[in-house]
Amino acid sequence: MLKRAFDLVAAAVTLVLLAVPLLLVAAVVRLTSRGPALYWSERIGRNNRSFMMPKFRSMRIDTPALPTHLLTDGESYLTPIGGFLRASSTDELPQLWCILTGEMTIVGPRPALFNQDDLVALRTENGVHRLRPGLTGWAQVNGRDDLSIPDKVVLDREYLDRMSFAFDLRIILMTVRRVIVGSGVSH
């Protein structure tokens, strides 16, 4: 109950405070590349249910629907401002909408892509699939894109076992630090 109330207040306040910058980012995305400002990605959520998650589009519209690390020469698919959006995690901000709708939470395991069967299977084996996916999570502050899928699931399971409001606050503070430094992001 406390987690959901915190999510709603934090997401709503953040959206209000960032409304103008978010509109500016959307405009720059549209002006610098073909296609919409938002990319709606099919993701796997709580209890392995599918949902659509928005991101500012950092990749060209002809990019295959694969995890970035599986793309051959992924950097060639970036839009002119895509590298900045990813490195600064600005591309993730539209997911605040999914927090308001209840599909996501601020802290939890990152939602898997619809085709990441290996990640979904390991999370299900470890009970992590019962959690609402998060904007940030324990795996994100401990390696993010640098982690293998089994290592991510170990950290996701650790989050499940240690879950508390205080632990969530710690992860949020660590996330802010990681975003400022820009560590663990692969393009």
| Residues paired with 107 in a beta bridge | 136
Which residue has better confidence, 70 or 5?
Answer: 5
> Shortest CA distance to 89 belongs to which of 8, 18, 159?
18
pLDDT digits (tens, 9 = 90+) for 159-182: 999 999 999 999 999 998 888 776
Whether 87 is in a domain gets the answer yes
Whether 26 is in a domain gets the answer yes
**Mean pLDDT of the chain, nearest integer:** 92
- In eight-state DSSP terms, residue 78 is B
Q: What is the DSSP code string of 3-59?
A: HHHHHHHHHHHHHHHTHHHHHHHHHHHHHHSSS-SEEEEEEE-GGG-EEEEEEE--B
Q: How many domains does the chain have?
A: 1
Which domain, by its residues, includes 24? Answer: 2-181
> Shortest CA distance to 9 belongs to which of 109, 141, 110, 106?
106
Whether 186 is in a domain gets the answer no
- d(CA 26, CA 20) in angstroms, rounded, equals 10
Whether 187 is in a domain gets the answer no
Sequence-separated (6 or more) residues with CB below 8 Å from residue 76: none
Whether 21 is in a domain gets the answer yes
This prediction's pTM: 0.88
Whether 65 is in a domain gets the answer yes
pLDDT digits (tens, 9 = 90+) for 92-101: 999 999 999 9
Whether 176 is in a domain gets the answer yes
